[in-house]
C-alpha cells in the first residue's frame, strides 16, 4: 500500500469521516450540558480548533448560532463550504486558539477531542483559557475534553477505529510512541488507511501533545479564576455518570462555567 507522509488536517474529507462518524453522542451530550450546567440560555456557540466543523454543522442545523477558529486553512475552507452548502454563514475563521477575541460574547464554547493538548506550553494553555473566558458571557460554559496522564497504572497506548461513508472507508490507528514527563511531551503516530473504489493508500502523520497529570491540570485552572469547575464526565458522555479526578484518571470532560 502506498504511504503518503503529511498532515492529516490537510485532508479534511478523510479527517471529517474518521472523527465525525460518532458525532451524535457528543451532540446530545453538549446540549444536555447546556441545559443542566449553564446559568443562561445557550444560543451562541464557539468552537476553538474547530477543524472541519463536524459538530458545528449539526449544532447549526439544531438552531444554534455557531462560529469557530482553526489554524488549518484546508479545514476552515471545508467547514465554511459545508456551512454555506446548508445556507449558514461562513463563520469559521483562520486563527490561533490561544490568541483570539470575539466581537460578541457567546453562551458556550467546546473543545472535546484533545485539541487543547496541541498547545505547546503552559503560557499558551493559560492564554487559551483566558481567551475563552473573555469570549463567554457570565454563566456560560466551556466544555473541554482531554486525556490526562495517569500517575498510577498503565496509560492507554493505542487506539484504532474505522468509518465508512458511501464508497469511502478509512481505518485509523493512533499509537503513543514516547512520553517525556519532564518535558511534558507525548509523541504520537497516526495512520489513515484509505480505501476507495479506485485507490488504496495510507496517510501517515506524527504529532506532539503536551501532557497533563490531574494535579498539573488543576494547577493550570487555578491560573484562570474566571472559571469554576461545575462537573466532570468521561468520554462515554453519559449525563448520569460523573467522575472524580484521581491518579488513574485518563479521559475527562471538564465542565467549566464563567463566573
Q: Are residues 159 and 145 in the same domain?
A: no
Q: Are residues 36 and 131 in the same domain?
A: yes
Alpha helices (H) in 86-159, listed in sequence order: 122-135
Q: Are residues 195 and 244 in the same domain?
A: no
pLDDT at position 12: 97
Grid coordinates representing 171 are 481505518
For residue 70, tell me if it sits in a domain.
Answer: yes
For the segment 51-65, the average pLDDT, to the nearest whole number, is: 98
Least confident of 71-80, 89-98, 146-155: 146-155
Q: Are residues 205 and 116 in the same domain?
A: no
Beta strands 92-94 and 200-210 are unpaired
For residue 223, tell me if it sits in a domain.
Answer: yes
Q: Are residues 111 and 44 in the same domain?
A: yes
pLDDT at position 155: 83
Q: Are residues 194 and 79 in the same domain?
A: no
For residue 134, tell me if it sits in a domain.
Answer: yes
pLDDT at position 22: 82
Average pLDDT, the chain: 97
Q: Are residues 38 and 70 in the same domain?
A: yes
CATH number at residue 201: 2.20.25.110
Is pLDDT above 90 for 96?
A: yes
Is pLDDT above 90 for 162?
A: yes
For the segment 74-102, the average pLDDT, to the nearest whole number, is: 98
Q: Give the distance, in angstroms, between the CA of residue 180 and the centroid of all CA atoms in the same chain.
A: 23
Q: Are residues 55 and 167 in the same domain?
A: no
Is pLDDT above 90 for 17?
A: yes
CATH number at residue 232: 3.40.50.150
pTM: 0.97
Is pLDDT above 90 for 156?
A: no
Is pLDDT above 90 for 21?
A: no
pLDDT at position 99: 98
For residue 2, tell me if it sits in a domain.
Answer: no
For the segment 156-164, the average pLDDT, to the nearest whole number, is: 94
Q: Are residues 219 and 206 in the same domain?
A: no
For residue 190, tell me if it sits in a domain.
Answer: yes
Is pLDDT above 90 for 46?
A: yes
For the segment 56-71, the average pLDDT, to the nearest whole number, is: 98
For the segment 5-28, the average pLDDT, to the nearest whole number, is: 94
Any idea of the CA torsion for 237, 240, 241, 244, to the nearest 10 degrees? 110
Q: In what order do the strands lie in the sheet containing 158-165? A: 2-5, 200-210, 185-195, 168-180, 158-165
With residue 4 as reference, give the H or E element that holds it: strand 2-5
Q: Are residues 143 and 236 in the same domain?
A: yes
Boundary (domain end) residue, out of 175, 190, 210: 210
Domain limits for position 175 = 151-210
**Rounded alpha-carbon distances, angstroms, from residue 255 to 108, 140, 238, 258:** 10, 10, 13, 10
Q: Are residues 195 and 179 in the same domain?
A: yes
Percent of the chain whose pLDDT exceeds 70: 100
pLDDT at position 154: 82
- Adjacent-strand bridge partners of 141: 108, 257
Q: How many domains does the chain have?
A: 2
For residue 1, tell me if it sits in a domain.
Answer: no
For the segment 118-123, the average pLDDT, to the nearest whole number, is: 98
Q: Are residues 195 and 241 in the same domain?
A: no
Boundary (domain end) residue, out of 188, 210, 232: 210
Alpha helices (H) in 136-230, listed in sequence order: 214-222
For residue 4, tell me if it sits in a domain.
Answer: no
Amino acid at each position: 500500500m502506498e504511504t503518503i507522509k503529511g498532515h492529516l488536517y490537510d485532508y479534511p474529507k478523510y479527517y471529517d469521516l474518521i472523527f465525525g462518524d460518532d458525532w451524535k453522542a457528543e451532540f446530545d451530550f453538549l446540549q444536555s450540558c447546556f441545559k443542566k450546567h449553564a446559568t443562561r440560555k445557550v444560543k451562541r456557540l464557539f468552537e476553538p480548533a474547530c477543524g472541519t466543523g463536524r459538530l458545528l454543522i449539526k449544532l447549526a442545523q439544531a438552531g444554534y448560532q455557531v462560529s469557530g477558529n482553526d489554524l488549518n486553512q484546508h479545514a476552515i475552507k471545508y467547514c465554511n463550504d459545508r456551512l454555506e452548502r446548508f445556507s449558514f454563514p461562513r463563520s469559521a475563521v483562520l486563527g490561533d486558539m490561544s490568541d483570539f477575541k470575539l466581537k460578541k460574547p457567546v453562551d458556550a464554547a467546546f473543545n472535546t477531542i484533545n485539541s487543547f493538548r496541541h498547545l505547546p506550553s503552559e503560557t499558551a494553555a493559560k492564554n487559551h483559557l483566558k481567551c475563552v473566558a473573555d469570549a463567554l458571557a457570565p454563566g456560560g460554559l466551556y466544555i473541554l475534553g482531554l486525556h490526562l496522564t495517569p500517575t498510577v497504572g498503565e496509560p492507554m497506548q493505542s487506539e484504532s477505529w474505522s468509518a465508512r461513508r458511501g464508497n469511502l472507508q478509512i481505518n485509523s490507528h493512533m499509537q503513543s510512541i514516547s512520553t517525556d514527563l519532564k518535558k511534558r511531551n507525548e509523541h504520537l503516530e497516526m495512520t489513515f488507511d484509505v480505501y476507495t473504489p479506485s485507490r488504496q493508500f495510507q496517510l501517515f502523520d506524527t504529532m506532539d501533545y503536551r501532557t497533563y497529570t490531574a494535579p498539573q491540570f488543576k494547577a493550570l485552572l487555578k491560573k484562570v479564576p474566571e472559571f469554576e469547575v461545575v462537573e466532570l464526565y468521561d468520554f462515554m458522555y453519559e449525563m448520569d455518570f460523573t467522575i472524580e479526578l484521581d491518579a488513574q484518571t485518563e479521559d475527562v470532560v471538564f465542565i467549566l462555567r464563567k463566573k
